[in-house]
Structure 1
């Protein structure tokens, strides 16, 4: 179980010694030995999951989802979105990464990258583990509606795009927030076929990365067909790489898990798609 100690508000007249804290249980955790490392898969259910046994939910698979990584940020964003009706309530599955470059990136031919990240190159193995072990476990144990989206930022964003290109049927939607498309000399964007279409919806965003990261993004965008469902949020003027996940995960979930709420723009919860949008790829 994932637990933290509940805070206790003490009445001025209540004896302190008579009040004991209770664990605040927020989810469940599975331990795996995968890719020669111990790691956790953390599951946080919607608050009404037990109370509505006939209901099913979409699943959000969040990379870098360890308890010491982005799990609680993702949970907060998902719950906050739900309060405003910005995206559908979902089951959140956080995937802990241990050696991020090793697990999330393919090999590189760039000497500087190989020197900086000598273990990088096992993204295909990590993807196989997700597809063969994690997804079957989650789908068999939790009531889901068939929608399973993958969310990742930076190196995890590269993994999202790579999965979307190489094994698109693994998930029903993808969100790559400021993906590291500079990796291996933009090899993935350069190798992508022209006129990409027919894949699940894809959310892409770009903060003030500049250089080859920006070049790789626009190379990839140039290959997306008009019939492909995607949203590109260009935030180069207002977000840094360090603030992109906080700023854009709410929007990514809004695109992938829309509610149809008609009040969102009134509260500034606008889906910014400089290219593509909710109607792109629609018949």
Structure 2
């Protein structure tokens, strides 16, 4: 036994010596994009921008995808990873991804509320209209002047940001070319947004990917009221009876949302289960 132990110790020593003798080049930074600083609502926030592969070597133009709550400490890296993974599979078109940092989410993303409990919990909430104006009159012009875009702009949001996406789609649908609202907080203000939604009159609107997880309660009631009022005017992903929760809806459903908004001609996606699973009108499904 002693001889075996001695042999093992000798091998470990040789391995350690060999490893220490290996040449390691100087560490290099990993650069994935750039951050622009813009002020709104009395605070600086970052626009974290990542260009698609090959952007510098070609003249191709790309759509803009704005991800709300897209700060470095928020959903930026998750969203970027999903978008790049989609590209690897040819699941969605390459895009210029912009993570839009939020500072006071309820203030920036939600409209005013008449519910006393919400007012007490989020006293600064209620300036979504000003944030929307900032996005469209300041942020989009900056992005369009700086990057080689193809004219299209998509917006993605989850939870309170999902409410902002739905509110924008209902109030000013022409501001963006595609919308994704993942588990939107439509319980806000006693589901007033859903209650005020116009009935389906056949008027064309940009594509909307709307998802519902296992939120239950007033959130589910608000989403389903909106679904009933608007009929089949959007892509509705119903995951109430699944493994998708409010906490992981962005992780689970962002790949589908991007695929729906930026579809490709890849004919192998269904073979690998990379499909958009939602109810939608026949015109969208074709």
**TM-score, normalization by structure 1:** 0.90
- How far apart are residue 225 of structure 1 and its match? 4.7
The Cα offsets for residues 108-154 of structure 1, whole Å up to 9 and x where unpaired, read as: 00111111111100000000000110000101111111221000000
Once residues 99 and 278 of structure 1 are traced to their aligned partners in structure 2, the CA distance between those partners, rounded to angstroms, is: 40
Q: Look up the SS of the partner of 1:276 in the other structure.
A: coil
Q: Which of 115, 118, 121 is the matching residue for 2:123?
A: 118
Q: What does residue range 146-225 of structure 1 map to in structure 2 within 5 Å?
A: 146-195=151-200, 197-225=203-231
- The unaligned stretches of length 5 or more in structure 1 are 1-9
Looking at secondary structure, tell me which structure has more strand per residue.
1
Counterpart check, 1:43 vs 2:80: no
Aligned-residue RMSD, C-alpha? 1.7
Once residues 116 and 278 of structure 1 are traced to their aligned partners in structure 2, the CA distance between those partners, rounded to angstroms, is: 43
Q: Is the 8 A contact 2:197 2:230 kept in 1?
A: no
Partner of 1:244: 249
Looking at secondary structure, tell me which structure has more helix per residue.
2
When Rg is computed on C-alpha atoms for both structures, the one with the higher figure is: 2
Cα 1:94–1:11 change in 2 (3 A) is farther
Partner of 2:237: 233
Q: Which of 32, 39, 47 is the matching residue for 2:38?
A: 32
Give the 4+ runs in structure 1 shifted more than 4 A. 10-13
The Cα offsets for residues 233-280 of structure 1, whole Å up to 9 and x where unpaired, read as: 11112211001000000000010000021111110112101x215733
Partner of 2:15: none
- The unaligned stretches of length 5 or more in structure 2 are 1-17
- How far apart are residue 57 of structure 1 and its match? 0.8
Q: Is the 8 A contact 2:198 2:230 kept in 1?
A: no
Once residues 92 and 170 of structure 1 are traced to their aligned partners in structure 2, the CA distance between those partners, rounded to angstroms, is: 17
Q: Look up the SS of the partner of 1:279 in the other structure.
A: helix
The Cα offsets for residues 3-52 of structure 1, whole Å up to 9 and x where unpaired, read as: xxxxxxx9764345xx2111111101111221101111111001210011
Cα 1:79–1:278 change in 2 (3 A) is farther
Counterpart check, 1:14 vs 2:22: yes
Once residues 277 and 77 of structure 1 are traced to their aligned partners in structure 2, the CA distance between those partners, rounded to angstroms, is: 26
Q: Look up the SS of the partner of 1:179 in the other structure.
A: coil
Q: Is the 8 A contact 1:232 1:277 kept in 2?
A: no
Counterpart check, 1:130 vs 2:135: yes
Once residues 280 and 255 of structure 1 are traced to their aligned partners in structure 2, the CA distance between those partners, rounded to angstroms, is: 9
Once residues 140 and 285 of structure 2 are traced to their aligned partners in structure 1, the CA distance between those partners, rounded to angstroms, is: 26
Q: Look up the SS of the partner of 2:87 in the other structure.
A: helix
Q: Is the 8 A contact 1:105 1:159 kept in 2?
A: yes
Counterpart check, 1:141 vs 2:140: no
